Amino acid sequence: MPNKHDHSLLASLTKRCYFAGRAVMDAALRAHDIGSTQWFVLHHLALSGPMMQRDLVDLLQVERATLSVIIRELVRKGLVEQVPVERDARRKMLQMTDAGKALWDQLPNFETLIHATAFGEIPEADIAAAIRVLSIATERLTNLSLKGDRT
Amino acid sequence: MPNKHDHSLLASLTKRCYFAGRAVMDAALRAHDIGSTQWFVLHHLALSGPMMQRDLVDLLQVERATLSVIIRELVRKGLVEQVPVERDARRKMLQMTDAGKALWDQLPNFETLIHATAFGEIPEADIAAAIRVLSIATERLTNLSLKGDRT
DNA sequence: TCATGTTTGTTAGGCATCAAACAAAGATGT
DNA sequence: ACATCTTTGTTTGATGCCTAACAAACATGA
């Protein structure tokens, strides 16, 4: 039977693993003067082409307010443009500028490297179990937040 | 064989799970005007009694600079004291004030609740596998950061 | 003794995140 | 048509985290 100690350890590891991964990304990106989430935005725009800011919110799983600040930075750096959308003045379409594309081509592909470093050579069954555990935990915690809304 | 997609999903889940857990804690603590890491400091001080600030850095697994700011807030709120240590003027001993103890007694025990919510009813073997995966990943990523130091 | 190295805590600057509140614009229903 | 609801993005203020650079104090060794 799993005990409190296991649960506490797993919670702590979840946090440490997240920050350890981000530290590696941040260190690699520092020379290019962009942060880890800024990299993810460029990543999605490079792979999928221009997209609505609203859709990127869902892809990145962050709040609108969070993305708004990230985009503001990328726009300030001249890497991304916010293009007005016809027929709906609320929405903004995001697309990389030429400078953004040029920077992207310079960046190494750390995503694969980091994932291989972190999870390579680990049994498939363990990876699958970890995904099950974190999926369920995330869903339950999210539901708990929603329920607590009406307080 | 585990593929890139699995690894990417797991990385994303690690982040989302961490923030989902923190959101639950923050929501519960907002009424008491303390943040989640501030809660962890009180937790350790309540359970172990006064301790050196340096030792708390290791327990919480954060940087000295990070803890310094957290403690500054708790001191400002009158919940914790930094007591000078004899024989070593660099160090500071942390202890809860009476107000800190009073607040602590008011707080519900969410740690158990949150862990039970997140991980309850999940097979022991899955929990153990998740711990293995995240332990290894965290260690490897940390080593990668250290190696990259000399750049 | 005294120069040098290490440890401890702080400050400054930056990124990422959230909640709350706002504004603008589209959508809906009567 | 018009009032109301919903959607989208922004701003503000907070927490938490990091690195880099500093200062103070301790430790060590020549």
For B4-120, CATH number? 1.10.10.10
Q: Which two tokens stand for residue B95?
A: 């202890």
Q: Return the minimum-mean-pLDDT range out of A31-45, A57-71, A106-120, B127-141.
A: A106-120
Rounded mean pLDDT, B123-145:
93
Tell whether A89 is within 8 A of chain B (Cβ): no
Specify the DSSP element, H or E, that contains B112: helix B110-119
| Pair of tokens at residue B86 | 């004899």
C-alpha B97: how far from chain center: 21
Q: Which residue has the higher pLDDT, B98 or A143?
A: B98
Reply yes or no on whether the pLDDT at B2 is more than 70: no
Residue A148 scores a pLDDT above 60: no
**What does the block give as tokens for B18?**
């961490």
Question: Does the CB of A15 have a partner CB in chain B at under 8 Å?
Answer: yes
pLDDT tens-digit readout, B73-120: 999 999 999 999 988 999 999 999 999 999 999 998 888 889 999 998
Confidence of residue B22 (pLDDT cuts 50, 70, 90): very high
Work out if A65's Cβ lies within 7 angstroms of strand C: yes
Residue B142 CA, chain-centre distance (Å), reads: 17
Average pLDDT value for residue range B120-145: 93
Q: What CA–CA distance (Å, rounded) separates A130 from A13?
A: 12
Average pLDDT, chain A: 91
- Between these two residues, A148 and B132, which has the higher pLDDT value? B132
Question: Structure tokens of A125?
Answer: 């069954």
For residue B9, give the chain A residue with the closest CA: A131
Confidence of residue B144 (pLDDT cuts 50, 70, 90): confident
Domain boundaries, chain B: 4-120, 121-151
Q: Say if residue A147's pLDDT is above 70.
A: no
Q: Specify the pLDDT at position B151.
A: 34
pLDDT in tens, B66-82: 999 999 999 999 999 99
Contact B72, B85 (CB under 8 A): no
- Strands of A51-52's sheet in order across: A51-52, A92-96, A80-84
- CB-CB under 8 Å, B145 with A20: yes
Of A63-67, A86-90, B38-42, the range with the lowest mean pLDDT is: A86-90
